[in-house]
Amino acid sequence: MLPATKSHRFSLADVVPSCMKSLAGEPNVLDLPGVDSAIVLLVDGLGASVLKARAGHSRTLAPLLSPSSTIGARFPTTTASALATLTTGEPPGVHGLVGYTVLDAANDRVVNQLSGWDDRLDPETWQRVPTLFERARDRGVRSFAIGTERYRSSGFTRAVLRGAEYRGGATMTDRFEEARRVLDSVDRALLYVYVPELDQAAHSHGWQSPLWTSVLEELDSTVRAFAADLGAREGLVLTADHGVLDVPQSSHILFDTDPGLVDGIRFVAGEPRALQLHFEPDASLGHRQAVLERWRAAEGSRSWIVSRDEAIESGWFGPRVDREVVPRIGDIIVAARKGIAYYDSRPVAQHGRSMVGQHGSWSPEETAIPLLRFGAFAIRD
């Protein structure tokens, strides 16, 4: 049985459109009231399950978490896809960022969607739809994206944040202070504030580490101070792009050690918990089906394994997948159900295998994310 593509009433795609409607004083699916300024705080990797597990270290955020304040992240639960969904309001099948690494068929290569942009991949056309910041600008609303300086001029920033004025801040506190300055300088605005530190700590040390807990405590206290200073017409929503789970090296699966699983595979894309395998162009239908069945026989007890057509038909990349996007999706998708990660041991560089916290697939730990409200958006008793 395949996972349910809609596990929660609302999803990441609903957040910014609802904030834009609140700025216009219009009804919206999240039932946000009208405001003069709306702030979307995106905490990379803050899943609902880990926030609940560390509630004792989060006296501001955790008490607000409930079934009604939990929404769904879309598949694949990876930053490149999820942030594009957040900032366009569209699923991956439309905006086109269908994974962490993705096949660029025109150049016969796999491209990292966060850091692999070059002059052969135009962010403004590869990400295929206008951002919500561009739409806000067209309606006379200024948008601001507040992140670290290292991301200011990246291809990924151009792909998903175009239309917003970028402001930099080295530390978490710096970014919140910059957000306050923006709010004090404009009468009406849409703000996006990005916090990557929690995800970085999870990848390097795991979410169960003291480092991760320390970063959560810093986030909690910083949000508490910022929210206390919000004006009567300033609303803040906090959400995440995906959750996280720890995967020890003992749970790494070196799939290439079974030659039948890589027979005729030209490219391995996606990420360790959501592989996207692309066949050689001349692979026959019979061969493709045989390799798919080998994967199901070998790994079907601990992963969802589907063909591209099955994934599209089941809505894995959204209710619509545009023709231009189809080749970017793997011929075979291997989405982990258990606490495992798949690695190809053939490349010399194996830096990714040091990663502890992981995400990308369909587990509740990865798909359930918070939607917490503060200031004018806070739910009143």
Instruction: Evaluate whether 236 touches 375 at the Cβ level (below 8 Å).
Output: yes
Residues 75 and 224 both lie in one domain: yes
In a domain? residue 4: no
| Distance between CA atoms of residues 124 and 211, nearest Å | 37
pLDDT tens string 154-182: 999 999 999 999 999 999 999 999 999 99
Domain count, the chain: 2
Residues 204 and 348 both lie in one domain: no
In a domain? residue 173: yes
Beta-carbon-side half-sphere exposure of residue 239 (alpha carbons within 13 Å): 30
Range of the domain at 17: 12-97+117-244+362-375
Least confident stretch, 7-11, 58-62, 345-349 = 345-349
CATH number where 341 lies: 3.30.1360.180
Give the pLDDT band (50/70/90) at residue 338. Answer: very high
Residues 30 and 121 both lie in one domain: yes
Closest among 283, 333, 281, 285 to 307, alpha carbons compared: 333
In a domain? residue 110: no
Strands 189-195 and 142-147: parallel
In a domain? residue 111: no
Please determine, for residue 349, whether its predicted confidence score (pLDDT) is greater than 90: no
In a domain? residue 347: yes
pLDDT at position 6:
83
pLDDT tens string 264-303: 999 999 999 999 999 999 999 999 999 999 999 999 999 9
pLDDT at position 381:
64
Print burial letters for 128-139: b (CB count within 10 Å at least 16), e (below 16): bbbbbbbbbbee
pLDDT at position 348:
78
At residue 253, φ and ψ (nearest 5 deg) are: -105, 115
Beta-carbon-side half-sphere exposure of residue 333 (alpha carbons within 13 Å): 29
Residues 268 and 341 both lie in one domain: yes
Q: Identify the H or E element spanning 9.
A: none
Residues 182 and 144 both lie in one domain: yes
pLDDT tens string 246-273: 999 999 999 999 999 999 999 999 999 9
In a domain? residue 335: yes
In a domain? residue 381: no
Q: What average pLDDT score do residues 99-112 get?
A: 97
Residues 291 and 240 both lie in one domain: no
Q: What average pLDDT score do residues 298-314 get?
A: 98
Residues 175 and 316 both lie in one domain: no
Residue for token digits 């929690």?
A: 198
Q: Treating both helix axes as pointing N-terminal to C-terminal, what angle do 210-228 and 197-205 enclose, rounded to 10 degrees? A: 170
Closest among 326, 365, 381 to 53, alpha carbons compared: 365
pLDDT at position 280:
98
Residues 183 and 138 both lie in one domain: yes
Residues 127 and 195 both lie in one domain: yes
Residues 235 and 280 both lie in one domain: no
Residues 212 and 136 both lie in one domain: yes
Q: How far is CA 316 from the centre of its chain?
A: 14
CATH number where 25 lies: 3.40.720.10
Residues 196 and 285 both lie in one domain: no
Tell me the sheet residues that pair with 168.
Answer: 147
In a domain? residue 312: yes
